[in-house]
Each structure stands twice: as C-alpha cells, then as structure tokens.
Amino acid sequence: MNIILLGPPGAGKGTQAQHLAQSRDMIQLSTGDMLRAAKDSGSEMGQIVADVMARGDLVTDDIVIGLIRERLQGDKRGGVIFDGFPRTLAQADALDNLLTEQGETLDAVIELRVDDDTLVQRIVGRAEEAKAAGQAVRADDNADSVRQRLMEYYKKTAPLIGYYHAKGKLVPVDGLGGIDAVKADIEAALDR
C-alpha cells in the first residue's frame, strides 16, 4: 500500500506517518526530514536549501523529486507513506510517473484537516516547548516563517486536494480530534 499524507504545516503528518510506519511496516518518506538532514550534512545542496526552508518557502521541485526518486529505489517493505510530498502539482505528476515506472500504485491520499488558528498555536507551542526544554528550535518555527509556510501551502499545495479528489483518491480526515482519535480515523479509512 502506498499513501500520501496531505495537509498544512502543523497538521500532524509526521506524527501520523510514524505511527503508520510501525503499525503497517511501511516506510516513511519525509521530504522535510530529508532536507533537514541534507542541511545538517553541510553538503552543497544542503546549504542551498537551508535559507529557503528558514524563510518558509518551498524548495525547488527538481531537488525534492530527486530525493524521492533516490529513496524509491530501495526496499519498500509494506509500502510507502509520503509525508510532506508532493507539495506542488509538478511533484504530484512526477510521483505518478515514478510509481508507474516501478509498477506501483497510489492507494489513498489522507487529507488532514486542521484550521489555521490551531496550526499556528501548535507550531508556536512546539517551538516554546523545545526552548523551555533546552532543545533546538526549528529555524522555520517562528511567526514570520509560519505565515509564509501557510501561504505557500494555500497557493501551491492546496490545489492537490482537488487533483486527488478528481482521481478518486482523496480521504479527508478531521485532524483536530487528538492524536489517538486521528490515528483511529486514518486506520479505519485505510481498512475500508
């Protein structure tokens, strides 16, 4: 089974992807995590993406599609959970082609629905918790970057909701119910 977790920043994609990776022996491909790892590695590509990410802008399609292409070569176990990818229509088309090349199909696109006020509260809360605990705060978890990330989401990523709806793949899930309630809703949707 191959699925996409779609939703704005702070919707809970990472949390739910980790859960599904365990419960269904799937692999989680998070482009955000891959890009942060590239940044930390100090590679040339990492330096290029660091500023873009800190501002809350999207990294170019070529870079993220390249990362995903590379990861799709390996063992896919029970399937792949795409977390934070695709984020543009060009990425969605590229993913379609990559899956077709490998004889794979896309089973479902889980859309995590959360309102803007809650998103901002969650992200700012996450940054404050990290600060109080003496942990690193993500460079893009500040008010300006969060506003920019939301703007990028509505301009470039939200059109994917219509795209996958038209393909009959979209499964909207209420992302407000608490982590365990959301987990249960996603599991039920995938078992249907």
Residues that bind ligand ADP (CB under 6 A): 9-10, 13, 31-32, 35, 52-53, 56-59, 64, 84-85, 87, 91, 140, 149
Shortest approach of ligand ADP to residue 32 CB, angstroms?
A: 2
Told to judge if 39 belongs to the known catalytic residues of this protein, a careful annotator would answer no
Q: Residue 31: CB partners within 8 Å, gap ≥ 6?
A: 59, 64, 67, 68, 83, 84, 85, 87
Told to judge if 55 belongs to the known catalytic residues of this protein, a careful annotator would answer no
Shortest approach of ligand ADP to residue 85 CB, angstroms?
A: 4
Closer of 160 and 171 to ligand ADP (Cβ):
160
Q: What is the DSSP letter of 146?
A: H
**Rounded Cα–Cα distance for residues 175 and 101 (Å):** 33
Closer of 151 and 188 to ligand ADP (Cβ):
151
Told to judge if 192 belongs to the known catalytic residues of this protein, a careful annotator would answer no
Q: Which residue is nearest to ligand ADP (CB)?
A: 32
Q: Strand 3-6 relative to strand 108-113: parallel, antiparallel, unpaired?
A: parallel
First to last CA, the chain: 13
Q: How far are the Cα atoms of 30, 96, 160, 177, 186 from residue 17, in angstroms, in the given order?
A: 9, 20, 19, 16, 10
**Rounded Cα–Cα distance for residues 175 and 178 (Å):** 7
Catalytic residue among 69, 71, 138, 156, which?
138
The closest of 17, 11, 14 to 123, measured between CA atoms, is 11
Closer of 13 and 103 to ligand ADP (Cβ):
13
Closer of 155 and 188 to ligand ADP (Cβ):
155
Closer of 103 and 135 to ligand ADP (Cβ):
135
Catalytic residue among 36, 39, 87, 183, which?
87
Told to judge if 131 belongs to the known catalytic residues of this protein, a careful annotator would answer no
Q: Backbone phi, then psi, for 62, in 5-degree steps?
A: -55, -45
Shortest approach of ligand ADP to residue 141 CB, angstroms?
A: 8
**Rounded Cα–Cα distance for residues 138 and 39 (Å):** 12
Shortest approach of ligand ADP to residue 51 CB, angstroms?
A: 10
Catalytic residue among 13, 36, 169, 183, which?
13
Told to judge if 167 belongs to the known catalytic residues of this protein, a careful annotator would answer no
Catalytic residues: 13, 87, 126, 138, 149
